[in-house]
A and B are shown apart, each in its own frame.
Chain A
Amino acid sequence: MTDREDRPAIIRLSHVHHAYGPYQALTDLNFEIFKNELAFICGPSGAGKTTLLRLLYAEARPSSGEIAIDGSRLGDIARTGLPLLRRKFGVIFQDYKLIPGRSVFENVALVLEAAGHRRALIPRRVLNVLRMVGMDHHADTLPIRLSGGEQQRVAVARAVVGDPKIILADEPTGNLDEASAQAVMDLLHVAFIRGATVLIATHDKAFIQRLGGRIFHLKQGRLAAFERVEKHHDRTAL
């Protein structure tokens, strides 16, 4: 299944299979995500959404098939090359994955420090992003003292602070109240408008309809269908 566009593909999957022992999590996935595209991966729990994202940022290697990110085949990237690959991504994890012993500021700054940004420039940039997500007043707070929505906003801040080419979000509004979910959505939309490719795994239909974009439907690890949803509930089946 392909959807031809003029833009170059930034994510390309060819015959990707992935199994956890005898359990086949993903089967023969073939699709492309284009540069500066907003796309969604939908499907029920266990459909393989999280597994797919894990394969994209190389937390796991596919059992077979090929994944190319920004022109580089993941299979060709050595272990030592993974950090450079991962700096192309900003990942929002379902369970936030914030370091509990470090402050909100330190959690967000970690991305820039790891990428070797100049130390003098880091505080301003981090505080700007925290301001953007409305968490600047919690800069010195430990994540454990924050609500789920606040932690998710910190996770978004961490995902966007390095201006990544691709943002992957795994159920970013999963456990959030309406207001927090809206704030997270807005932040992802801003990142998209600023040029990032945003791929969101979700089963929140309201979320998809508010933002609009291509949707890849996964069912039992297979790409069952895809469609394009226009913003403002204008839904067009492809």
Chain B
Amino acid sequence: MIARHFRRALEDTLANRFVNAVTIMTIALTVMIVSAAVLVFLNAGDWMSAWQQGTRIMAYLRPAAGGAAPALRHSIESIEGVHKAQFIPRDEALHDLKARMEHPASLFENLLENPLPDAFEIQLKPSNDSWEQIEAVAGRVRSLAEVEDVEYGRQWIVAVRRVAHLFQTLGLALLGLLLVAAIAIVANTTRLVIYSRQDEVEIMRLVGATERFIQAPFLIEGLLQGLIGAVGGIAILFAAFSALAVRIDQNGLAGVVTLRFLSLEQMALITMASMLVGWLGCYVALKQFLKL
């Protein structure tokens, strides 16, 4: 029976080429926009992770606390998530600073004493580099009595997080709108198809067909529209992505900007969601027209 419904759905899809093509193009466009948004989020996430991996926490010690450096180092390294803590004596820090400056003489000549504090440069374990963990480690380091201040680019992190969160919210809202629009368009086109085949539906009823028998091909059509739309949308996006990747490569940015496309699992998930949209659109139309 399922094979029969599938055959019927395929035949009906071909018979109503124009209407189905409109539906499929709508779904493809929706899939493309949604997938593009997912792609941007994924790659942005990758870049942020890569940036986070370089995060160091600097702990500046109170004056005269440098003497307790070995014990303090042990305390810091025992904090969960800390990979390594390197003590930087204030003299070494000043020396490094002078070495980095192009014209140190004018700046450091009149310096009566070293203004820099002793410090620890703390490296985090790679698996503990999320925003929350960085903040947690920084908080625990700051709570140590010998530590006067901690610096880890917090303000920058917060700003980036806010922007990311805003994009995520906007993205989700856009996604919701697109899905509703896609379902509405599929429902409308299905309504057109059902309307044009109302006599056929009525005849089927009169010869004893159940509602399920009548509806099954329509619902399968919806699934097929979703499937074809998803494949089309992802294919177009892949073509655009490949073109962008080539352009990046040509501009010599391949080592700077790394891009990745959707994984097979993500593509499968998007395809299934698209099929669900197709099915749901048909279901809504059938519910109104055939009074499910």
**A residues apposed to B, CB below 8 Å:** 57, 59, 80, 82-87, 89, 91, 93, 97-99, 101-102, 110-111, 113-116, 119, 158, 162
Residue pairs across A and B with Cβ atoms less than 8 A apart, 17 shown, are: A57-B206, A83-B205, A83-B208, A83-B209, A85-B208, A86-B205, A86-B208, A91-B207, A93-B206, A99-B199, A99-B204, A101-B15, A101-B200, A111-B208, A113-B213, A119-B1, A119-B4
Indicate whether B210 reaches chain A with its CB closer than 8 angstroms. Answer: yes
Residues 199-223 of B, flagged 1 when their CB comes within 8 A of A and 0 if not, give: 1100111111111010000000000
Residues 239-271 of B, flagged 1 when their CB comes within 8 A of A and 0 if not, give: 000000000000000000000000000000000
The main secondary structure of chain B at its interface with chain A is helix
Cβ contacts under 8 Å, B200 to chain A: 99, 101-102
Chain A min CB distance to B118 (Å): 83
Categorize the interface residue count of chain B. 10 to 19
A114/B213 contact (C-beta < 8 A), A86-B208, A101-B200 known: yes
A114/B206 contact (C-beta < 8 A), A101-B15, A119-B4 known: no
Q: How far is the CA of A80 from the CA of B209 in the complex (A)?
A: 10
The 5 closest A-B pairs by CB, nearest first: A114-B209, A87-B208, A86-B208, A83-B210, A83-B208
A114/B207 contact (C-beta < 8 A), A99-B200, A101-B15, A101-B200 known: yes
Residues 1-36 of B, flagged 1 when their CB comes within 8 A of A and 0 if not, give: 101100000000001000000000000000000000
A86/B1 contact (C-beta < 8 A), A99-B200, A101-B200, A114-B213 known: no
- CB proximity to A under 8 Å, residues B177-212: 199-200, 203-211
Contact (Cβ within 8 A) A97 B213? no
Contact (Cβ within 8 A) B210 A113? no
Residue with the greatest number of chain A CB neighbours at <10 A, chosen from B206, B207, B211, B213? B207
Q: How far is the CA of A93 from the CA of B78 in the complex (A)?
A: 89
Q: How far is the CA of A111 from the CA of B209 in the complex (A)?
A: 8
Contact (Cβ within 8 A) B209 A110? yes
Q: How far is the CA of A83 from the CA of B206 in the complex (A)?
A: 8
Cβ contacts under 8 Å, B213 to chain A: 83, 113-114
A84/B208 contact (C-beta < 8 A), A99-B200, A101-B15, A116-B1 known: yes
Which of B4, B206, B208 touches A59 (beta carbons < 8 Å)?
B206
Contact (Cβ within 8 A) B206 A111? no
Q: How far is the CA of A89 from the CA of B3 in the complex (A)?
A: 27
Residue with the greatest number of chain A CB neighbours at <10 A, chosen from B200, B204, B206, B211? B206
Q: How far is the CA of A111 from the CA of B206 in the complex (A)?
A: 10
Closest B residue, CB atoms, query A161: B207
Which of B3, B15, B199, B210 touches A114 (beta carbons < 8 Å)?
B210
Cβ contacts under 8 Å, A113 to chain B: 4, 213
Chain B min CB distance to A166 (Å): 12
Q: How far is the CA of A48 from the CA of B204 in the complex (A)?
A: 24
Cβ contacts under 8 Å, B199 to chain A: 97, 99
A97/B203 contact (C-beta < 8 A), A113-B4, A116-B1 known: yes
Closest B residue, CB atoms, query A118: B1
Chain B min CB distance to A98 (Å): 8
Which of A91, A102, A115 touches B206 (beta carbons < 8 Å)?
A91
Chain B min CB distance to A142 (Å): 12
Q: How far is the CA of A98 from the CA of B209 in the complex (A)?
A: 15
Q: How far is the CA of A113 from the CA of B15 in the complex (A)?
A: 20
Contact (Cβ within 8 A) B204 A114? yes
Residue with the greatest number of chain A CB neighbours at <10 A, chosen from B4, B199, B209? B209
Given contact pairs A83-B208, A85-B208, A97-B203, enumerate 19 new A-B contacts (beta carbons under 8 Å): A57-B206, A82-B205, A83-B209, A97-B199, A97-B206, A99-B200, A99-B204, A110-B203, A110-B209, A111-B207, A111-B208, A114-B207, A114-B210, A116-B1, A119-B1, A119-B3, A119-B4, A158-B207, A162-B208
Q: How far is the CA of A89 from the CA of B206 in the complex (A)?
A: 9
Q: How far is the CA of A119 from the CA of B3 in the complex (A)?
A: 10
Q: How far is the CA of A160 from the CA of B226 in the complex (A)?
A: 39
